[in-house]
Amino acid sequence: MAVIAHLSDIHIDDERSVRRTRAVVDYLEDLPYDLDLVLVTGDIADHGADEEYATARGLLDSRHPVLVCPGNHDDRGAFRRGLLGDATDAANAADAGAVDQVYRGAGFTVLACDSSVPGKPEGWLGDETLEWLAAEVGRAPEGDAVLVAFHHPPVELHVPYVDGIRQFDAGRLAELAGRHPRITAFLAGHAHTAAATTFAGRPLLVAPGVVNTVRLPWERQAHADHHVHLDQPPALAFHVLAEDHRLTTHFRTVSTEG
Ligand SMILES: [Fe+2]
Ligand SMILES: [Fe+2]
């Protein structure tokens, strides 16, 4: 059995975002259990600034292994420098390539794709990322569950604001998944709401937002309502992978008191 904590959208900028992220990370640090992975699916730095990444790096320094992928609020170069310790010229280039990463755990492989499009809020997987993904699915050790993670959900979640900036052109990914039955599930963030649906016949689990929670259309009482709840507690998902690759997901809220 493997247990993966999945958080998303910490949007580090002000004291509030730091306090909420710290509450979630402290909760994970205090668990009487060694997690197999802490996955953070993007929107790490609210403005993609170097100082926000420095803060995020400190907050996400954990006794558990951590894998972080970028979202639309992230800047690829600053993300590489600040979180991956990449000091090469490539990290600093304005056209820095997609940040695609592999994590191998005990009995599972996470393939974290960069669905960000520099300068745009919506998501898209580039051809290079899709080629990389297909190759890495093939390279995953025999018997491993294969989890594909990215920031932008590739389907509508019935939240118009989010649906308008989802991962587009997702038919290419669905076609890839059709050729690779080893893909167990898809994991995403971006929506700032805990959600479960399917994509390409596989589970698609969306981690809630740490920084805030999106207001669902049937929660909006007046057009004056803000599009997010600021009063709901930060939350995260736990994905439990059984030996037979069956995936169970639990969602948890975390207190910011004390
Ligand atoms: Fe976000
Ligand atoms: Fe996002």
Give the whole-angstrom CA distance, residue 42 versus residue 151.
5
Q: Give the ligand with the smallest distance to the CA of 17.
A: 1
Distance 40 CA to ligand 2 centre (A): 12
d(C-alpha 90, C-alpha 107), whole Å: 33
Residue 132 CA to ligand 2 center (angstroms) comes to: 22
Cα separation, 143 vs 145, whole angstroms: 7
**pLDDT at position 102:** 98
Contacts of 224 (CB under 8 A, 6+ apart): none
Confidence at residue 94, expressed as pLDDT on a 0 to 100 scale: 57
Residue 220 has what pLDDT? 80
86: pLDDT confidence band, cut at 50, 70 and 90? confident
Distance 143 CA to ligand 2 centre (A): 32
Instruction: Supply the mean pLDDT for the chain.
Output: 95
The ligand with the least distance to the CA atom of 70 is: 2
pLDDT at position 224 is 62
Give the ligand with the smallest distance to the CA of 72: 2
Which ligand does the CA of 11 lie closest to?
1
pLDDT of 107 over the 60 cut: yes
**Is 225 in contact with 206 (CB distance < 8 Å)?**
no
Write the pLDDT tens digit of every residue in 145-176: 999 999 999 999 999 999 999 999 999 999 99
8 CA → ligand 2 middle, Å:
9
What is the band of 185 on the pLDDT scale with cuts at 50, 70, 90? Answer: very high
pLDDT at 160: 93
Q: What is the pLDDT of residue 67?
A: 98
Distance from Cα 193 to the centre of ligand 2, integer Å: 11
Q: How far apart are CA 38 and CA 248, in angstroms?
A: 16
pLDDT band (50, 70, 90) for residue 95: low
pLDDT of residue 47: 97
DSSP 218: G
The pLDDT tens digits for 215-230 are 999 998 766 668 899 9
Using one digit for the tens of pLDDT, what is the confidence trace for 116-139? 999 999 999 999 999 999 999 999
Q: Which residue has the higher pLDDT, 257 or 12?
A: 12
**Ligand nearest to C-alpha 162:** 2
C-alpha 119 – ligand 2 centre gap (Å):
12
Distance (angstroms) between ligand 2 centre and the Cα of 201 equals 24
Q: Which of 23-32, 68-77, 208-217, 223-232 has the lowest mean pLDDT?
A: 223-232
> Distance from the CA of 189 to the center of ligand 1, in angstroms?
7
CB environment 26-57: b (16+ within 10 A), e (fewer): ebbeeeeeebbbbbbbbbbbbebeeebbbbbb
In this predicted model, which residue has the larger pLDDT, 103 or 85?
A: 103
Which ligand is nearest to the Cα of residue 164, counting in written order? 2
Q: Give distance in angstroms: CA of 142 to centre of ligand 2.
A: 33
- Residue 23 CB: number of other CB atoms within 10 A? 17
Q: Is 257 exposed, middle or buried (0-12, 13-18, 19+ CB in 10 A)?
A: exposed
Ligand 1 centroid–CA 254 distance in Å is 18
How many angstroms does the Cα of residue 73 sit away from the middle of ligand 2?
6
Domains of the chain: 2-253 (3.60.21.10)
Euclidean distance between CA atoms 70 and 91, whole angstroms = 14
Ligand 1 centroid distance, CA of 143 (Å): 33
